[in-house]
Amino acid sequence: MNALMTRGSLFDDFFRDIAPGFYVRPLHGDALPQPSQIRIDVKEDDGGYRVQAELPGVPKEDIQVSIDGAVVTLRAEVQQHDQKKDGEKLLRSERYFGSVARSFQLPMEVDSTKAKAKYDNGVLTLSLPKKLEGKAQRLAVE
């Protein structure tokens, strides 16, 4: 829950360090990730870009990738639930719902019709070919 309330105040950081018990942390799992916590690696070759993004614990159905020219946006719906088993008495329940998104711009536009995405073991891999239509061509002078 504390990741949903972002204040960014110097005093909040100060009091968090002095009295860490005052801010309740979840008993299990992690809080919602911040956009800067979606770690990405971007590699380039002649044909395009390869992006790897870490999105652990997010089902692939809850991941959205959009491409607008040279801007790539990653969006994920994060949901963490406590599960109650038969014969157990629920004393505390923490649920986290929210979305996290991160956008970045590449040096060249991407051909979104040929782009591919694969999600495996918490890592989203994007193959983003460069759009070659805008590339300058040399003309022969007659």
Residue ranges of the domains in the chain? 33-82+92-129
| Model pLDDT, residue 12 | 58
Minimum mean pLDDT range among 56-60, 63-67, 128-132: 56-60
The band of 27, judged by pLDDT with boundaries at 50, 70 and 90, is very low
Q: What is the CATH number of domain 33-82+92-129?
A: 2.60.40.790
pLDDT(31) > 70: no
Which three-class secondary structure state does DSSP give residue 39?
Answer: coil
β-bridge mates for residue 51, sequence order: 42, 126
Query: Cα separation of 116 and 128, whole Å?
Result: 7
What one-character DSSP code corresponds to residue 20? T
Mean pLDDT, residues 53-76 taken together: 90
Render 52-106 in DSSP notation, one character per residue: EEE-TT--GGGEEEEEETTEEEEEEEEEE---PPTT--------EEEEEEEEEE-
Percent of the chain with pLDDT over 70: 58
